[in-house]
Amino acid sequence: MKIALLSRNRNLYSTRRLIEAAEARGHDVKVLDVLRCYMNITSHRPSIHYKGEELTGFDAVIPRIGASVTFYGTAVSRQFEMMGVFPLNESVAISRSRDKLRSMQLLSRRGIGLPVTGFANKPDDIADLIKMVGGAPLVIKLLQGTQGIGVVLAETPKAAESVIQSFFGLNVSVLVQEYIGEAGGADIRCFVIGDKVVAAMKRQAKEGEFRSNIHRGGTASLIRITPEERSTAVRAAKTMGLNVCGVDILRSNHGPVVMEVNSSPGLESIELATNKDVAHMIITFLEQKARKGDTKTRGRG
């Protein structure tokens, strides 16, 4: 196969591993900086150009699109779909997962376990918003935050009200969520490919920190997940429409709850923690599923 790999940096661990895995299986991989792609949007012959040349002959595209370039990145991915190139993850599914509010609403509609969550822009009664999610301590999140940025733990009602008022003063909407204290600063990253969890790791926050993100100093280790956690991760992936994703789960007193579904999960931590060749699994999935023009989102935007 001829594979387009959308990545802004070919030296990133995940990008390198995907290149290695694809080339080891005899595939031709071209790494494309998504921001340097430009498109000809026409009814009969849509095309993508890169560094002065038209991109042709691709069988599959692997989008590794950073959160900061979601809008343009999904536009390029959608253009590949219009050209009949099979996407590892479809553009509309990536857009769903990047919209924190939309993704929470979709998961809620499917009955998937979630933390009690409030959403507001400028409520008249902040105290009622805090009460709605079970009171303090609680977690306040910006919709645009990634890697734990824009996430605040408010330990008292007064602190919560102060933080929420500050965010509203910046004219932004926020998610307010119950704090799952019993998780002990740990979450579970389930790596889903197709309809299976192929690897899982526990991410533990460093001492004095409640965010377990590796970028925030968290550590990763191998973990055995329960059938309910496995089922929750797969259902969350299917709800988003993602073939490959990382589903972040907390162990709460009322069962597993989903915190986020990541459409471009990193490979380094999960491969090192589990000693599994996840990149090879992704390429194998692509070999089995790639069919020209096989995209559910054609014509649906």
Q: What is the pLDDT of residues 78-137, one digit of tens each?
A: 999 999 999 999 999 999 999 989 999 999 999 999 999 999 877 778 889 899 998 889
- The answer for residues whose C-beta is within 8 angstroms of residue 128's C-beta and 6 or more apart is none
Residue pair 184/240 in contact (Cβ under 8 Å)? The answer is: no
Q: Quote the tokens at residue 7.
A: 């990545």
Domain 182-286 class? Answer: alpha beta
Q: Give the domain ranges of the chain.
A: 2-95, 117-179, 182-286
134 backbone φψ class: left, alpha, beta (φ>0; ψ -120 to 50): left
Q: What is the pLDDT of residues 188-230, one digit of tens each?
A: 999 999 999 999 999 987 776 666 565 556 788 999 999 999 9
Domain 117-179 class? Answer: alpha beta
pLDDT band at 300 (very low <50, low <70, confident <90, very high): very low
> What is the pairing mode between strands 28-32 and 255-262?
unpaired
265 in helix, strand or coil?
A: coil
What's the fold here for domain 2-95? Rossmann fold (3.40.50)
Q: CA dist 217 to 205, 261, 264, 276, Å?
A: 7, 20, 20, 22
DSSP string covering 171-233? T--EEEEE--GGGTTEEEEEEEETTEEEEEEEEEPPTT-----GGGT-EEEE-PPPHHHHHHH
Q: CA dist 236 to 113, 118, 127, 232, 256, Å?
A: 9, 20, 31, 6, 12
Residue 165, number of CB atoms within 10 A of its CB: 10
251 in helix, strand or coil?
A: strand
pTM of this prediction exceeds 0.75 = yes
